[in-house]
């Protein structure tokens, strides 16, 4: 669900500033590792099929380049600071909504005493921030 706006964000970030776009792409790639596991493992255990697990993970991942392609088709004719502001605002809002309304509550459902959820959420933010900082330095 959120892979489509990730593709939009990566594309728009790269158009706005290639260095920033590279940092966003790497941060999203790092994020996609546990996401791929989270998508494929339940499907594998539910079906016993590695191919179904792989297929659903692949389908989930394909949404990112589709988002980037749509971003290209829409933005190529209207590239302006206002268009970038609107796009980044929309993508940011979508991703924040998914995190606050879906991901964190689901994590807390599996960890009702919050033994690991808050700390791993902070760790995830730190990993993403570090990757962005490293790509500003490199």
- Has residue 71 got a pLDDT over 70? yes
Classify the phi-psi angles of 5: left when phi > 0, otherwise alpha if psi is within -120 to 50, otherwise beta: alpha
Average pLDDT, the chain: 85
- Has residue 138 got a pLDDT over 70? no
Domain borders along the chain are 3-137
Question: What would the pLDDT profile of 98-117 be if each residue is shown by its tens digit?
Answer: 889 988 999 999 999 999 99
- Residue the block writes with tokens 């706006």: 5
User: Are 7 and 75 within 8 A, CB to CB?
Assistant: no
Classify the phi-psi angles of 29: left when phi > 0, otherwise alpha if psi is within -120 to 50, otherwise beta: alpha
What's the confidence (pLDDT) of residue 85? 86
Question: What would the pLDDT profile of 87-96 be if each residue is shown by its tens digit?
Answer: 888 888 888 8
pTM: 0.67
């Amino acid at each position: 669900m959120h892979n489509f706006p990730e593709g939009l964000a990566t594309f728009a970030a790269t158009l706005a500033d290639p260095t920033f776009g590279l940092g966003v792409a790497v941060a999203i790639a790092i994020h996609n590792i546990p996401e791929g596991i989270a998508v494929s493992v339940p499907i594998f255990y539910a079906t016993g099929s590695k191919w179904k697990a792989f297929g659903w993970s692949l389908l989930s991942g394909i949404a990112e380049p589709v988002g980037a392609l749509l971003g290209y088709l829409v933005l190529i004719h209207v590239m302006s600071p206002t268009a970038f502001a609107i796009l980044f605002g929309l993508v940011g809002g979508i991703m924040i909504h998914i995190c606050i309304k879906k991901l964190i509550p689901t994590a807390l459902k599996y960890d009702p005493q919050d033994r690991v959820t808050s700390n791993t959420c902070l760790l995830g933010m730190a990993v993403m921030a570090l990757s962005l900082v490293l790509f500003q330095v490199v």
